[in-house]
Structure 1
Amino acid sequence: MTYTFQQLAEQFADRPAITDGDLQLSYQQLYERVQALSETFSALQLRSIALHGGNSIDWVVVDLACQQANIVLQPLPPFFSLSQIDACLEQAGSQLLLSEDAGLASKLQQTVSLMSSQIARYHAVSITPKKPAQLPQGTAKITFTSGSTGNPKGVCLTTEHQWRVAQSLATVTALNQPKHLALLPLSTLLENIAGVYSPLLCGGMVIVPSEQQRGMLGSSKLDHKALLACISQWQPNSIIMIPQLLLLLVNACLQGWQPPASLQFVAVGGGKVSPTMLAQAHQLGLPVYEGYGLSECGSVVALNTSTQQVDGSVGQVLPHCQVNVVNNEVVVSGACHLGYAGVPSSWYPQQVHTGDLGQCRNGWLWINGRSKNLLISSFGRNISPEWVESEIMAEPFMRQCMVLGDAEPYLSAIVSCSELVDNVQLASYMARVNQQLPDYAQVWHWLRVSPAQLAPFTTANGRLKRDAILSAFADQIAALYHGESAAS
């Protein structure tokens, strides 16, 4: 069934639908705002809108209004760099940009004009696309991955696909009128679908505190005290977490913090989750359940729940999709995106080859690792090490570089450079490189080694033997994350 928010507003009319702490709207009140904005968008004859901002009631209103008006929406993460935003706008052929950043228009290398916005939070920028967008038919939302190479890929989804995933989640979690606290950015598809649509389908209330209230600074920085205070204040029934946030909660519990008794479901995904950490979370009374998915499949493919969970598994495959393992690779069908924006050769796939290695038995899915070198940070950011390495290697005095950080909160690197460069100069250079990268792709610590030390682990054509290096320098790498770093 394809849901519309109008149907939900009729069903749950006076129930509270959403709040930010200052304002609370019922389902009917939220629908009235959605309808009014939808009519404004339709009058402007817009085909494509980009939304750039943090979590708010207005963000949800714009999202639902675009669905109502059959306008393609491109949520843009606030932490994207200017070049990434520019690439997204071009891919999607955006005609209107709604942004909380008053200066963004002047920073973009486009011919733009400011216009009045019906929502005071946003600065509205009219954009003339450089060229017509190439989008598969039926595209309702383009969710941009963080871009493992720095160039975001626009995953095209239908409205029906998004709500189908939300309905599956509502069915398997079986939470009745949940109070959900949106901790992750709404521009993240997982929070958008599982944190907004799914609770609304259940007659629940969505809580959307600001970044400052949640302690979420950028894509990879946290104010621990603010985050814990936010959870304690709102007493939610459900939250969605990435591994780094789960680690924070576990450590807080060990130090005496008491999780709210209201908490019924903590979904964790977006990266590797330590089985030891999950076991510890359960011992501390945290109702944590691991899941798995990717944007190309509408975010969630499998999920453990309070009534159905298997240790070590990422969960049971959701009712709306099917999983097969072909040559050890997880392949998903029944939940396919429409393809990538601007890449017609990718359109209308029947299956999604995930690039993940795994097993599927009796509807339960296990993930064993990645088939490529892609790093997934504990914040859920997908990062190609080759991308960051190429930025670092742009200076001639650099000899070799290997970026690390899988399942870790930040990137580190093993580097070698000319002996004429001292550590102070190297630190200054790395700081300049970091300024050119989004915060989730910046290298925080590094281990400097000599070219001779890396020589045994280098192929004839200069490629580093990654697995051999990880083994040979295991102790030094561990120190980058759990001890004194070689540089900072």
Structure 2
Amino acid sequence: MSIPHTAAPPRITFVDGVVREASLPPLVPPVARGSLGDLPFDNAAEAPAAPVLSRKQPDGTWRDVSAATFAAEVLATAKGLIAHGLRPGDRLAIMARTRYEWTLLDFAAWAAGLVTVPVYPTSSAAQVRWILADSGAAACAVEDADQTRLVEGERAALPALAHLWEFDAGAVPALAEAGRGLPDAAVAEARAARGPGDVATLIYTSGTTGRPKGCVLTHANFFAETDNSTELLHPVFKAVSKEPAATLLFLPLSHVFGRTVAVGCMRARVRVGHAASLRTEDLLADLAGFRPTFLLVIPYVLEKVYNTGRASAEKLGRAAAFDRAARIARRYGEAELARRHGSGPGAGPGLRLARALYDPLVYRRIRAALGGEVRYVISGGSPLGERLAAFCVGAGIDVFEGYGLTETTAAATLTPPHRPRLGTVGWPLPGGAVRIAEDGEVLLRGGHVFAGYWDGERGEAVPAAPGEWFPTGDLGALDADGYLTITGRKKELLVTSAGKNVAPAPLEDRLRAHPLVGQCMVVGDDRPYITALLTLEPDGIAHWVRMHHKEGLAPEELVRDGKLLAELQTAVDDANATVSRAESIRRFAVLTADFTEEAGHLTPSLKLKRAAIARDFAAEVERLYER
């Protein structure tokens, strides 16, 4: 792909003086033939020696996998799938953490003409049963013995499930052995039978209420998403200084965000590694060993890196120096972003000198925590705070923020590299459009928007809504230059007893950025004022306890500690400063238990299940409104 010129601004439509729509033409033409199953073979034909993946070895080192080697493994695995009787259009479920075999089986399934169905490895038995039954999965690959037992326990309710394979028990070699006698032509025929309009995957939305729905994404959806985003974010996917572009995937491949980046990297021949463990020490070791040039993250990861850096500085008695460095980084980042956007001259000599002074002391350590070579971060999943984004830029890491859903094959908007604007989620993805409805709901259109929701009884996609615009359920606004800002969820909008509409997400996002706050849920629907339930971030509170010598306090005593409550009040005050008095949090409660997926309070993608939280902590909420 060629290097694009600075992207032209979106086409803007005004209605009664208000921006209602923004759109951008595609940067690349739509794919007219073929499927994602062709990508490994195209790479092998065009650049057989190019490293497209890396596998972690038992000794912790990483071994590159060439395009030719990966294509051979895909071919062998695809032949095994066909040898087991799977035919084009059949559904294959994959339930595992982020690992090499996940990506291998994904592409092998597409090469065999199959439809893959990702399942979160933390899913309950009921969730697994529903997804496998609704999708009509004919086969399922799991990671380990525990997951094998879980699926086996549901087999009686899954008459369509003919095959169950386990990665840890040698599923991939066994598939290759099963297909050994099959000619390569069998895979070529299956690939030839699939086109851009065919279904590539059914991704079940985790859902904050009710049963998850299967989003039907086609090969064309992935091509439209990855080709346009890769072209727009050209610096990310090409060589960075002397280092070829590479990324370490640690977010779940069962989520559309990680999956789409994996596809985009295969399409752009960017080297990818997989990190299965999200434990801090394991992930830091993998980052140091792999040394990625860019990462895809959710804001929590960046918040964790920042807060860990500050906690380390505080432990060494250098908290004040870290805070000064953070302020300088934010000022530098804001000035640099304004320069790129054309709204400011950039950092002056004094600010540049101050930044250079703190680079070896603070910023280089932040970059080292991410492997040392990271220069770009793609952030999604929830809004990234302006201050943290500016800090990252000041520390030498460019941040590209995006907004999207499973239904839009990940990003529907992206930060334009040459014209970033803090506080927004960027412009429409090239080839797409954003419209703001009369009630403020964000509507989307483009080749990346899904085909519809899966109807398990009919075995086909059913359009999500009439017309060509997909209603997201999110609230937002477009500015005069076409930048989108997300302000909340339509269904989560709180209405106080005084009639004030309050979007909880901005307050919650701001509070979660504090090192002591784990999760937060804002409350106030049909109440006289706004309140909040807070949980404590384990690492952050452990550090605070050590620094304040509170080791002897029981959890019930800790959440009532005056010093802790005062520090949390400053976090609440900081969040309140971004809203009006009527929208501000008047009181808050600190819970001894965290919101977790296991307790039924979070979805697998870490979204709040508000009804469940409100039910389980009803007593705590009522106390917040006692006079």
CA distance in 2 between counterparts of 1:238 and 1:433 reads: 29
Is the CA contact 1:244–1:409 (under 8 Å) kept in the aligned structure 2? no
Q: Which residue of 1 aligns with 2:230?
A: 170
- The alignment partner of 2:76 has SS state of helix
Match of 1:372 among 480, 487, 491: 491
Q: Which residue does 1:237 correspond to in 2?
A: 293
What letter corresponds to residue 330 of structure 1 in structure 2?
A: V
Specify the alignment match of 1:330 in structure 2.
442
2:269 to 183, 197, 203: 203
Aligned residues of 1:17 and 1:200 also touching (Cα < 8 A): yes
Candidates 143, 153, 161, aligned match of 1:107: 153
Structure 1 length normalisation: TM-score? 0.72
Deviations 1:141-161 (A, max 9, x none): 011111211521211100121
Aligned to 2:48: 13
- Output the CA distance in 2 between the equivalents of 1:56 and 1:450: 41
C-alpha deviation, 1:77, in angstroms? 1.1
Give the whole-Å Cα distance in 2 for the aligned partners of 1:45 and 1:52: 18
1:363-402 maps to which residues of 2 (within 5 A)? 363-373=482-492
Quote the Cα distance in structure 2 between the aligned partners of 1:368 and 1:17: 38
How far residue 205 of structure 1 moved from its aligned partner, in angstroms, is: 0.4
Aligned to 1:426: none
**1:102 partner amino acid:** T
Whole-Å Cα distance in 1 between the matches of residues 70 and 424 of structure 2?
Answer: 38
CA distance in 2, matches of 1:283, 1:40: 50
- Higher relative CO (Cα under 8 Å, sequence separation at least 6) belongs to 2
> Which residue type is aligned with residue 165 of structure 1?
E
The one of 120, 127, 149 aligned to 1:84: 127
Task: Give matches, 1:28-177, under 5 Å.
Answer: 28-43=68-83, 44-46=85-87, 47-100=90-143, 101-108=147-154, 110=156, 117=165, 121=169, 138-174=198-234, 175-176=237-238, 177=244
Residue-by-residue CA offset, 1:275-308 (whole Å, 9 max, x unaligned): 1222222233332221111111111111115423
Q: CA 1:435–1:450 in 2, change beyond 3 Å: closer, same or farther?
A: closer
Compared CA separation, residues 94 and 313, structure 1 to 2 (3 A): same
Q: Look up the match of 2:305.
A: 249
The answer to whether the 8 Å contact 1:49/1:96 transfers is yes
1:287 aligns with 2:398: yes
- Between the aligned partners of 1:149 and 1:158, the Cα distance in structure 2 is 26
Q: Does the 8 Å contact 1:178/1:238 carry over to 2?
A: yes
- 1:331-365 per-residue CA deviation (whole Å, 9 max, x = no partner) reads 11113211111273637862211112222343422
Please give the residue correspondences for 1:286-365 in structure 2 after superposition, counting only pairs within 5 Å: 286-327=397-438, 328-334=440-446, 335-342=448-455, 344=462, 346=464, 350-360=468-478, 361-365=480-484
* Residue-by-residue CA offset, 1:166-192 (whole Å, 9 max, x unaligned): 111210111215201102011111111
Rounded Cα–Cα distance in structure 2 between residues aligned with 1:291 and 1:406: 27
Candidates 580, 600, 605, aligned match of 1:437: 600
The whole-number CA distance in structure 1 between the counterparts of 2:250 and 2:416 is 20
State the distance in 1 between where 2:373 and 2:465 align.
43
Q: 1:452 to 1:227 in 2, by over 3 A?
A: closer
Paired AA for residue 344 in structure 1: V
Give the 3-state SS of the residue equivalent to 1:340 in structure 2.
strand
Q: Decide whether the 8 Å contact of 1:291 with 1:315 is kept in 2.
A: yes
The higher radius of gyration belongs to 2
Which residue identity does 1:368 align to in structure 2? T
Q: Over residues 229-279 of structure 1, what are the superposed CA-to-partner deviations in whole Å (9 max), with x where a residue is unaligned?
A: 332322111111111111012223444533144212101110122212222
Residues 432 and 120 from structure 1, CA distance in 2 versus in 1: closer, same or farther, beyond 3 angstroms?
Answer: closer
Provide the C-alpha distance between the structure 1 equivalents of 2:477 and 2:135, rounded to a whole number of angstroms: 36
Seen in structure 2, the aligned counterparts of structure 1 residues 345 and 183 have a Cα distance that, compared at 3 Å, is closer
Q: Which amino acid aligns with 2:468?
A: Q
Give, in angstroms, the shift of residue 34 of structure 1: 1.1
Q: Secondary structure at the match of 2:410?
A: coil
Tell me the distance in 2 between the aligned counterparts of 1:359 and 1:450.
31
**Amino acid paired to 2:469:** Q
Number of the residue aligned with 1:180: 247
Matches within 5 A, 1:457-472: none
Partner of 1:270, secondary structure, is coil
For residues 17-45 of structure 1, the C-alpha deviation after alignment (integer angstroms, 9 at most, x for no partner) is 11121253211111111122222223313
Gaps of 5+ in 1: 125-136, 217-222, 387-401, 411-422, 424-429, 457-488
| RMSD over aligned Cα atoms | 4.0
**C-alpha separation between the residues in 2 aligned to 1:278 and 1:38?**
42
* Cα distance in 2, alignment partners of residues 110 and 438 from structure 1: 29
Q: Distance in 1 between matches of 2:482 and 2:421?
A: 11
After superposition, the Cα gap between the structure-2 partners of 1:294 and 1:90, relative to the gap in structure 1 and judged at 3 Å, is same
State the SS of the aligned residue for 2:156.
Answer: coil
**Counterparts of 1:234 and 1:352 in 2: how far apart (Å)?**
39
Name the SS for the 2:381 alignment partner. coil
Figure out how many residues of one structure are paired with residues of the other and give that number. Answer: 403
SS of residue paired to 2:367: coil
> 1:116 Cα shift?
7.5
Match 1:262 to one of 364, 370, 373 = 373
Which residues of structure 2 form unaligned runs of 5+?
1-30, 58-62, 173-196, 239-243, 314-361, 456-460, 494-503, 513-518, 523-529, 539-555, 557-592
Question: What is the CA–CA distance in structure 1 between the aligned matches of 2:231 and 2:387, rounded to whole Å?
Answer: 28
Aligned-pair CA distance for 1:83: 1.1
Deviates more, 1:358-367 or 1:115-124: 115-124
Partner Cα distance (1:278, 1:235) in 2: 22
Stretch moving more, 290-299 or 113-122? 113-122
Tell me the percent identity: 20
CA distance in 2, matches of 1:403, 1:30: 53
If each structure's helix is expressed as a fraction of its own residues, which one has the higher value?
2
The CA deviation at 1:62 is 1.0
User: Alignment partner of 1:357: what SS?
Assistant: strand
Q: 1:28 to 1:348 in 2, by over 3 A?
A: farther
**Residues 102 and 123, structure 1, Cα contact 8 Å, conserved in 2:** no
CA distance in 2, matches of 1:265, 1:434: 30
Query: Amino acid of the residue matched to residue 131 of structure 2?
Result: C
CA drift of 1:8 comes to 2.3
Secondary structure in 2 matching 1:341: strand
